[in-house]
């Protein structure tokens, strides 16, 4: 894998984190009622609106965005890349597991979209564990 691929993955994860985090934190009721957007709504089926919870979700995603951007800038720091991979992978794995247990709340289309979207995020974060190839071969 190349540093460019790591940057693409980190950019993707940072974008997801900034959009989700800013939306949830600064427009919590709108986020809750319309996430993930595009005419879909995945949150009201899971329980009543809770402003504190939604604000925490937004803050958490914005924190991951900061980590992702810092790692993007310092992508040659393998420890930082691994820390980002670990933080994102832990969140994405547990998030996917939680949603797999709640699929019964959704229509078949939304079940598939949930699994595909959350699996893609997990794969992107796990891919950050793949080391960058050295420019020089031994």
Q: What is the pLDDT along the chain (138 residues), one digit of tens a residue?
A: 899 999 999 999 999 999 999 999 999 999 999 999 999 999 999 999 999 999 999 999 999 999 999 999 999 999 999 999 999 999 999 999 999 999 999 999 999 999 999 999 999 999 999 998 876 554
pLDDT at 136: 56
Looking at residue 114, its pLDDT comes to: 96
Map tokens 């879909």 to a residue: 40
Rounded CA-CA distance 127/14 in Å is 15
Residue 138: predicted pLDDT: 45
Q: Tokens at residue 39, please?
A: 């005419």
**How many degrees, rounded to 5, is the angle at CA 29 between CA 15 and CA 20?**
10
């Amino acid at each position: 894998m190349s540093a460019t691929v790591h940057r693409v993955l980190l950019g993707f994860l940072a974008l997801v984190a900034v959009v989700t985090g800013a939306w949830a934190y600064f427009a919590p009721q709108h986020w809750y009622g319309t996430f993930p957007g595009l005419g879909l709504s995945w949150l009201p089926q899971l329980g009543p609106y809770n402003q504190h919870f939604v604000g925490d979700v937004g803050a958490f995603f914005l924190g991951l965005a900061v980590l992702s951007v810092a790692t993007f800038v310092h992508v040659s720091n393998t420890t930082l890349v691994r820390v980002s991979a670990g933080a994102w992978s832990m969140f994405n794995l547990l998030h996917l597991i939680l949603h797999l247990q709640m699929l019964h709340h959704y229509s078949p289309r939304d079940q598939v979209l949930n699994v595909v979207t959350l699996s893609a995020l997990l794969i992107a974060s796990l891919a950050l564990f793949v080391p960058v190839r050295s420019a020089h071969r031994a």
